[in-house]
Chain A
Amino acid sequence: MDYFLTWGHSPWGQQILTHVSWNLLWAALFAGVAFLVAHASYMVLSAHRKRHPAETDAMEAARPDLPARIPRHSGVARAFHWVMAASMLTLLSTAFLPIAGVKFAWVQWHWMAGLVLTTSILFHVIHASVWLDFWSIWVGPKDIPELRAEILRELGHDVPGPKPGKYPLGNRLYHLALVVVGLSVIASGLTMMVRVRTPLFPRNPYLLSDSTWGFVYVTHGMAGVALVGLVIAHVYFAVRPEKWWITKAMILGWITRRQYLEHHDPDRWVVADPGSRIPDPAQQ
C-alpha cells in the first residue's frame, strides 16, 4: 500500500493518511511516455484509414457556399485556453520539479497559479454556458456509433459511420477526463490553501479532521499525477503532424473549408452565421 499512499500518525497515535506516494509521479510519467511511444509506433506501422485527396476535392466542390476559412475558436476562447495552459504548466512544474530534485520556494507560485487556473475555469464555464454551444464538447451514449466508426477507421476500415461535430471524439473524451481531474485538483487545492499562509484569509489547520485532510491531500496528489499523464498526451497530440491543424486553429482561431469538410460532419457542426465568416485573403 505504501507504493500508492503514505501514512503517518497523529499525536493521539491514530494512523492517518498524509499524501499519495510520489512513486505515482514516476508511474504517471512512464504511462504518459509509454502511451506516446505506443501511439506513435502504431501511427507509423499501421494501415489506418486516410481519406483520399480526391474525396475531399469532391466534397469541397460540392460546398462552394462555405467560406474559405471557418471560425473554430473565438479570441476569448483561445485566450482562455492559453491562460489555462500556462497556469497548468506552472502548477505542474512548481509541484513536481521539487520532488524531482530541483529545489526552490514553490508554494507561493503554486497557489497563485492555482488561483489563475480556478479563475480561468470559472470564466470558461460561464463563457461556454452562455456564449458557446455548451453541449458540443460533451460525450454521451449518443456518441457510441461515432466511437465505433472512429475505432474501425483507426483500424484501417472504410466505414460510413458518423463524423465528429465541432469537436472530434478524442477531444471530447479528453475534455471529460480533464473536467473530472481538473475539478478534483481545484477543489482539493482551494481547500488546502486554508492550511498555508496567504494574504487572502486566515489559516485554519483545524478546518477538517486529520483523516479528512488526508483524503484532501491524497485527492490533490492523485489528480496532480493524473494531470502529468494527461498533459503529456495533450502536448503529444498537439504536435502530431496530422493533428496540427487543430493546434493551429487554437492559435489562429480558424480552420480551412477543406479541413472542415474532411474532418467534420457539416450536419453536426453547422456553420450558420455568414457574418462571422473570415474573408479569404486570396480574394481580398
Chain B
Amino acid sequence: MAVIRDVMPAFELFQPASTADALNLLDRYGADAWIFAGGLDSFDWLKDRIKRPRYVVDLGGIAELKGIRARDGGLEIGAMTTLTEVVSHPIVRDRYAILTEAAEAAASPQIRNQGTIGGNLSQDTRCWYYRAGWSCYRAGGNICYADTPESINREHAILEADRCVAVNPSDTAPALIVLGASMVIRGSSGERVIPAENYFVGPGTDITRMTALQPGELLTAIRIPGDWAGSNFYWEKVRDRQVWDFALVSVASAMTLSGTTIQNIRLVINGVAARPLRLATVEQYVKGKPRNESTAAAAGDMAVEGAQPLRFNAYKVPLMRNLVKRAIRGVEEWTTS
C-alpha cells in the first residue's frame, strides 16, 4: 500500500471564477492539468504522490456550477453542489427521495459537506492495487493485480470484467440512472448532454477511464426529468461498516404500479462492475407481472446470470440476487403482508 505523506508534490493552483475560464485552463494545459472538485478523491491521489499533476484547476469558485434549480418539469443540479445540499433540498426530498437516500448514504457528514455530486459521480475506482500506483491495466500497464490467484479481491467485480476487475464506487450514480438523469458535459468544442447510464464506461470500452469525460471536458450539471418523480423507489446499500464505507453492492429502482402489477420500472445495481449496471433484461421481465415474491425471486436469479466471481467475492452473487429481489418485492410490503 502506498504511504500517505504530509506534503503533496508541488503544483500550480488555478481557481477560475467561470466555467469558460476553467475550460481554457484545461485546454491550455491538457494532460498536465488536474480537475479538483471537492478534493476528496484528489487529495488521496496527491498525498499518495501517485498522481503528480503540474497544474490543478480548482472548480470551487465557479458559482454557475453550484445550486439546484427547476428546469423543464424536473431539476438541474450543478456539478459542484455538495452532497449535503442535495440531501437537504426540499424538492429532492419530496420528489426524488431515492437521490436523497443515495446521497445521504455516501461517506460521513463531514465528507458530504465538502464532497460534490459531480465528484461523487466522477470519482475514480477504489481498487487498492490501482491506487497503490502499480502499473496495472487501468494505470496503463499490462496486468490486473486484483485478478490473480493470490489477489485480495473481496470488493471487486463479478460482472463485465474485461482485464480490469475494479468497481464503480459512486452512491449517487445508480439513483440518477434510475431517475433517467442526463449529464451535461462541456468542453472547448461545446456542450453535449448524455444519458447518465452512458456517462459510465466499463474497461472493455476504455480501461483507463471510469466515465465518458474526455481530457479537457467538465461535467457541469446533472439534469433530472420529472418522469419518475414521486414513483415507488427502492434504494439499498450494503457495506462493511454501516457508519461510513463504500458500497459492497448497492441497488436502486423506480417503479410505477397499477394495483399490484408492475407497470414500469428502472433497475440499477452498482458495486459489481466498473460501471453501474442497468438491468434492462430484468426490467423487461418484470414489467406487467405482479409485484410478489415469485416475480422478485425470478428477477434476482435473472440478474446474476453470467456473474463470474473472483477468489474472495463469491458472496456478491447471492448479495446481488437478494438486493434485486428486495428491490422488486419491496421490503415493507413483504414484511407487513
Q: What is the minimal beta-carbon distance from B119 to any residue of chain A, in angstroms?
A: 23
Residue of B nearest to A8 (CB): B135
- Which stretch (A98-106, A135-143, A158-166, A171-179) binds chain B? A98-106
Q: What is the minimal beta-carbon distance from A263 to any residue of chain B, in angstroms?
A: 46
Tally of chain A residues near chain B (CB < 8 A) = 25
Would you give the 0/1 interface string for B197-212, flagging 1 where the beta carbon is closer than 8 Å to chain A? 0000110111000000
With a CB–CB cut-off of 8 A, which chain A residues contact B143?
195, 205, 210, 213
Q: Could you tell me which residues of chain A, from 100 to 148, have a CB within 8 Å of some CB in chain B?
A: 103-108
Q: Is A217 in the interface zone, CB < 8 Å from B?
A: yes
- Which stretch (A10-18, A45-53, A61-69, A268-276) binds chain B? A10-18
| Interchain pairs with CB closer than 8 A, number | 54
Q: Could you tell me which residues of chain A, from 186 to 243, have a CB within 8 Å of some CB in chain B?
A: 195-197, 203, 205-206, 210, 213-214, 217
Q: Is A9 in the interface zone, CB < 8 Å from B?
A: yes
With a CB–CB cut-off of 8 A, which chain B residues contact A196?
162-163
Q: Is A72 in the interface zone, CB < 8 Å from B?
A: no
Q: What is the minimal beta-carbon distance from A216 to any residue of chain B, in angstroms?
A: 9
Which of these, B144, B148, B308, contacts A206 with CB under 8 Å? Answer: B148
User: Is B205 touching A103 in the complex (CB atoms < 8 A)?
Assistant: yes
Q: Is B140 in the interface zone, CB < 8 Å from A?
A: yes
Residue of A nearest to B165 (CB): A197
User: Is A103 touching B201 in the complex (CB atoms < 8 A)?
Assistant: yes
Which of these, A18, A103, A104, A106, contacts B135 with CB under 8 Å? Answer: A18
User: Is B202 touching A6 in the complex (CB atoms < 8 A)?
Assistant: no
Q: What is the minimal beta-carbon distance from A195 to any residue of chain B, in angstroms?
A: 7
Which of these, B142, B145, B149, contacts A11 with CB under 8 Å? Answer: B145
Tally of chain B residues near chain A (CB < 8 A) = 22
Residue of B nearest to A13 (CB): B134
With a CB–CB cut-off of 8 A, which chain A residues contact B145?
11
Q: A8-B135, A11-B134, A16-B135 are in contact. Are A107 and B142 (CB under 8 A)?
A: no
Q: A8-B140, A11-B145 are in contact. Are A105 and B162 (CB under 8 A)?
A: yes
Bound together, the chains give a CA A195 to CA B162 distance in angstroms of: 10
With a CB–CB cut-off of 8 A, which chain B residues contact A8?
134-135, 139-141
Which of these, B132, B144, B201, contacts A205 with CB under 8 Å? Answer: B144
Q: Is B161 in the interface zone, CB < 8 Å from A?
A: yes
Q: Is B147 in the interface zone, CB < 8 Å from A?
A: yes
Bound together, the chains give a CA A103 to CA B210 distance in angstroms of: 13
Q: What is the minimal beta-carbon distance from B140 to any residue of chain A, in angstroms?
A: 7
Bound together, the chains give a CA A103 to CA B144 distance in angstroms of: 20
With a CB–CB cut-off of 8 A, which chain A residues contact B148?
205-206
Residue of B nearest to A6 (CB): B140
Q: What is the minimal beta-carbon distance from B305 to any residue of chain A, in angstroms?
A: 16
Bound together, the chains give a CA A18 to CA B134 distance in angstroms of: 12
Q: What is the minimal beta-carbon distance from B312 to any residue of chain A, in angstroms?
A: 16
A103, A210, A214 pick with most chain B CB within 10 angstroms: A103
User: Is B140 touching A197 in the complex (CB atoms < 8 A)?
Assistant: no
Q: Could you tell me which residues of chain B, from 107 to 145, have a CB within 8 Å of some CB in chain A?
A: 132, 134-135, 139-145
Bound together, the chains give a CA A214 to CA B204 distance in angstroms of: 21
Bound together, the chains give a CA A108 to CA B142 distance in angstroms of: 16
Bound together, the chains give a CA A106 to CA B206 distance in angstroms of: 10
Bound together, the chains give a CA A108 to CA B203 distance in angstroms of: 12
Bound together, the chains give a CA A11 to CA B132 distance in angstroms of: 9
With a CB–CB cut-off of 8 A, which chain B residues contact A98?
206
Bound together, the chains give a CA A203 to CA B149 distance in angstroms of: 9
User: Is B204 touching A105 in the complex (CB atoms < 8 A)?
Assistant: yes
With a CB–CB cut-off of 8 A, which chain B residues contact A210?
143
Bound together, the chains give a CA A46 to CA B139 distance in angstroms of: 51
Q: A105-B162, A195-B163, A197-B161 are in contact. Are A10 and B140 (CB under 8 A)?
A: no
Residue of B nearest to A19 (CB): B142
With a CB–CB cut-off of 8 A, which chain A residues contact B205?
103-105
User: Is A18 touching B162 in the complex (CB atoms < 8 A)?
Assistant: no
User: Is B162 touching A107 in the complex (CB atoms < 8 A)?
Assistant: yes
Bound together, the chains give a CA A197 to CA B143 distance in angstroms of: 12
Would you give the 0/1 interface string for A1-45, flagging 1 where the beta carbon is closer than 8 Å to chain B? 000001011110000101100000000000000000000000000
User: Is B141 touching A106 in the complex (CB atoms < 8 A)?
Assistant: no
Bound together, the chains give a CA A98 to CA B147 distance in angstroms of: 23
Q: Can you list 11 A-B contacts (CB < 8 A)?
A: A8-B134, A18-B142, A19-B140, A103-B201, A103-B205, A104-B205, A195-B142, A196-B163, A205-B143, A205-B147, A213-B143
Return the 8 tightest CB-CB contacts between A and B, nearest first.
A8-B135, A105-B204, A8-B141, A18-B141, A217-B142, A103-B205, A205-B148, A18-B142
Interface residues of B, Cβ cutoff 8 Å to A: 132, 134-135, 139-145, 147-149, 161-163, 201-202, 204-206, 308
